[in-house]
Amino acid sequence: YYAMVELIDDQFGRIMAALEDTGQLENTLVIFTSDHGELMGDHGIYWKGCYFYEGLVRVPLIVSQPGHFQPHRSDALVELHDLAPAILEIAGIEVPDRMQAKSLLPILKGETDHHRDHVLCEYYRALGHAPLDANGTMLFDGRYKVCVYHESDPGELYDLQADPGEFDNLWDRPEY
């Protein structure tokens, strides 16, 4: 795993160096992200699947365009599809009204650190060959995460403020 991380780091560094060496860095929008994380044995799971633990759903998102955005860190709740309208705006292209995503540009410009009140994550039969061909939906508001697995019970409810490791499932506790 560490070798794979180092490989990506080295290759990404080569790309950035090439952009800088050729004078293209300031005119290039660079986005570094991933479609999912890795559990690496967390919760006894080594493979991806219909799970919504932080190790899988909280992915890196680094956006850079030197000369256009000041470097800063944001803990705003965002969804990866929010990149699309931001890219269109940066390119000077009108964002279609039918687009459901919300542009990240105000965050990138440092105008706000709030983007969404909650984020949604869905998994629908993504691994047709897997023994458990599940469907699931997760909603997270920055503190509470609820996970519903369609066609099965029980679900999951976590308070990530009190339980960042997601070990105490509150699903069956009426007070929550």
Tens of pLDDT, residue by residue over 88-142, are 999 999 999 999 999 999 999 999 999 999 999 998 876 666 555 678 999 999 9
Q: Which residue has the higher pLDDT, 70 or 103?
A: 103
Name the strand (E) or helix (H) holding 31: strand 30-33
CB 8 within 8 A of CB 42: no
Question: Is the pLDDT confidence value at 64 over 70?
Answer: yes
Q: How many other C-beta atoms can be found within 10 angstroms of the C-beta atom of residue 78? A: 18
Give me the pLDDT at residue 104, please. Answer: 95
Share of the chain above pLDDT 70, in %: 95
Give me the pLDDT at residue 30, please. Answer: 95
Q: Which residue has the higher pLDDT, 153 or 156?
A: 156
CB 36 within 8 A of CB 48: yes
Give me the pLDDT at residue 18, please. Answer: 98
Instruction: Give the list of residues 6+ apart from residue 58 with CB closer than 8 angstroms, or none.
Output: 37
Give me the pLDDT at residue 38, please. Answer: 85
Q: What is the pTM of this model?
A: 0.85
Average pLDDT score over residue span 37-64: 88
Q: What is the SS3 assignment for 81?
A: helix
Give me the pLDDT at residue 152, please. Answer: 81
CB 79 within 8 A of CB 33: no
Q: Count how many residues are written for the chain.
A: 176
Give me the pLDDT at residue 130, please. Answer: 56
Question: Is the pLDDT confidence value at 81 over 80?
Answer: yes
